[in-house]
Structure 1
Amino acid sequence: MRRVGFLACAETLPGSAPRRGDAFEHDLEVAALRPAFADRGMDLVEIDWRAPLADFDGLAAVLLGTAWDYQDSAAEFVARLDALAARGVAACNPPEVVRWNLDKRYLRALADAGVTVIPTKWHDDPGRAEIVAAMDAFAVDRVVVKRQVGAGGLGQHSFTRDALPDEGWRMGRAAMIQPFLPAIESEGEFTFVFIGGQFSHAVQKRPATGEYRVQSLFGGAEAAHYPSEQDLATAQAVIAALPFADLLYARVDMARLPSDEPAVMECELIEPYLYPDQGPELGERLAEALVERLELARLQ
């Protein structure tokens, strides 16, 4: 039986303490994948991405899974994927995809390719002045400040003209400033999951009352979503605009601009949660797509 690693981190692996508040998502995803993988002769092995390299010997491939602390050790994470590749362990998605997707400046490349993305100001280390300037440029009274290398809504800030940061406040890292979208409160965000380049399922994610972040870590709620043909076509166009073909998985997150046009918030190609509860065929689809890739690699 082929052994396939599911990369996680200490805060998401079962038995670790304390686990993250959203570690239950790790359990849900593994529970959805493991039986489908077993049916196709694959044993899914949960493993910390920081484990000794020898622990990865014998794995046919690794899925990037719930390595949800990578953003604080990005160089180390990519170096680990390179080291695994050197030992003959393929990563899904591969290191070149991770390098491209690590920094949210990939949104610029998507915009250049004709994709509608949320208007963004990019700064090496924004402070109060840059936040006010962004509000003026966007003609809004509220913005969201995000890490350029970040995940899970962690380290974000939202400011209004009536509640600006202190004069001496700095983000302390490269960041992006975007207008707050009122649609986040009214309808939330929409996620489109693709497996092997094909649409799998969609999810509507709503924030908790008084919150703007939709992740479960902040009380967000998810429900299955059945997109219109137009919205699905928009998400498919995002996949087509990526500089990579034949990705094992991809997740497109969008929200509506005031014009009602859907805009890309993120195109997650590294370690996205793939919402198995809203996509009951996820395990079968991912297992089948991975088998095809492993067979192709064996024949080459």
Structure 2
Amino acid sequence: MPGDGPRRGDAFEHDLEVAALRPAFAKSGLELVEIDWRAPLDEFEGIALVLLGTAWDYQDHLAEFLEKLEALTARGIRVCNPPEVVRWNGDKRYLKQLAKAGVPAIPTLWLDDAGRSDVAIALDAFEATRVVVKRQVGAGGLGQHSFAHDALPESTWRMGQPCMIQPFLPSVVEEGEYTFVFIDGTFSHGVLKRAGEGDYRIQSLYGGYECDYAPAPSDLATAERVIAALPFDDPLYARIDMARLPSGELAVMEAEMIEPYLYPQQGPELGDRLAAGIRRKLA
């Protein structure tokens, strides 16, 4: 979590997560200490395991973030999830690998940069009325844009960095986005995330909100296919975000293993599950 300075509008999620984890960890004989990831290495002295949480500015400083995780690992501190997972997961091109493994995916145009003409080309290629442009290294919907045939960007507009263009899925607004939280490879709980009035983004920064969600067996099986396709053995935690395609099948939007908010309000056993997982990692 960024240290000094103004708190983000969604920092309450960090507070909710810590409030859920701290007593569960204490019950399991673990102490939870909050440390800014930029803190000097000496401040991590005596810590057995670093649990990556709400490090919500990593996407703007990925090389520096990875360097710190590697330094912690070199000191013999267990990092969850490990630097190699973060390196793979930090760039959304990992979605290509999941798609090749047979995971249902959203059609995507991958670009080193994008301008007005690229948006127009994507709209035609996807036969879509609207597209979304996202950063390849990004999080929280920050720096994201949505355009339509009758609402193209200005002629001088540039994304200014590697990006991805996807057709907008109406189901995100009509139905919501689904989250499946896995701890040590085992399903923990589901969340239905809805966009606020007048927006399509489901993050609380933009008025989004969450509801309880008990997935149908077929939807859970699709999320489990994502977990099975990961090139790592059971990360401590993984948050699989999915949306429904026009075909009715869920498609992966994110397989988040770096900094996710794990929705403790929808998963009352999250603290106990994570504490048990940490004990297994340290055993």
Aligned CA RMSD, in angstroms, stands at: 0.7
Match of 1:151 in 2: 139
Match of 2:203 in 1: 215
1:30 paired with 2:18, answer yes
Match of 2:2 in 1: 9
Identical positions, percent: 68
Distance 1:272 1:262 in 2: 20
1:99 paired with 2:87, answer yes
Match of 2:223 in 1: 235
Q: What is the correspondence of 1:171-182 to structure 2 with a 5 Å cutoff?
A: 171-182=159-170
By how many angstroms is 1:158 displaced?
Answer: 0.3
Residue-by-residue CA offset, 1:176-233 (whole Å, 9 max, x unaligned): 0000000011111000000010000000000011101100111101011011000000
Residue-by-residue CA offset, 1:238-269 (whole Å, 9 max, x unaligned): 10000001210001000011111110001001
1:115 counterpart SS class: coil
Q: What is the TM-score of this pair, normalised by structure 1? A: 0.93
2:179 counterpart SS class: strand
Distance 1:270 1:18 in 2: 23
Match of 2:98 in 1: 110
What amino acid does structure 1 have at the position aligned with 2:130? R
Distance 2:225 2:146 in 1: 30
Q: What is the correspondence of 1:233-272 to structure 2 with a 5 Å cutoff?
A: 233-272=221-260
1:44 counterpart SS class: coil
Match of 1:298 in 2: none
By how many angstroms is 1:9 displaced?
Answer: 2.0
Residue-by-residue CA offset, 1:60-94 (whole Å, 9 max, x unaligned): 01111110000000000000000001111111000
By how many angstroms is 1:292 displaced?
Answer: 1.1
Which structure is higher in strand share? 1
Distance 1:155 1:224 in 2: 28
Larger relative contact order (Cα-Cα within 8 Å, sequence gap ≥ 6): 2
1:20 paired with 2:8, answer yes
2:226 counterpart SS class: helix
By how many angstroms is 1:141 displaced?
Answer: 1.4
Distance 1:109 1:124 in 2: 18
Residue-by-residue CA offset, 1:15-46 (whole Å, 9 max, x unaligned): x4410000000000001110111111111000
Distance 1:80 1:194 in 2: 25
What amino acid does structure 2 have at the position aligned with 1:227? P
Match of 1:72 in 2: 60
1:44 paired with 2:32, answer yes
What amino acid does structure 1 have at the position aligned with 2:2? C
Match of 2:154 in 1: 166
User: How many residue pairs get matched?
Assistant: 283
What amino acid does structure 1 have at the position aligned with 2:59? Q
Distance 1:95 1:239 in 2: 18
Distance 2:246 2:2 in 1: 38
Q: What is the TM-score of this pair, normalised by structure 2? A: 0.99
What amino acid does structure 2 have at the position aligned with 1:206? R
Match of 1:59 in 2: 47
Runs of 4+ in 1 over 6 A off after TM superposition: none
What amino acid does structure 2 have at the position aligned with 1:9? P
What amino acid does structure 1 have at the position aligned with 2:196? A
2:33 counterpart SS class: strand
What amino acid does structure 2 have at the position aligned with 1:232? L
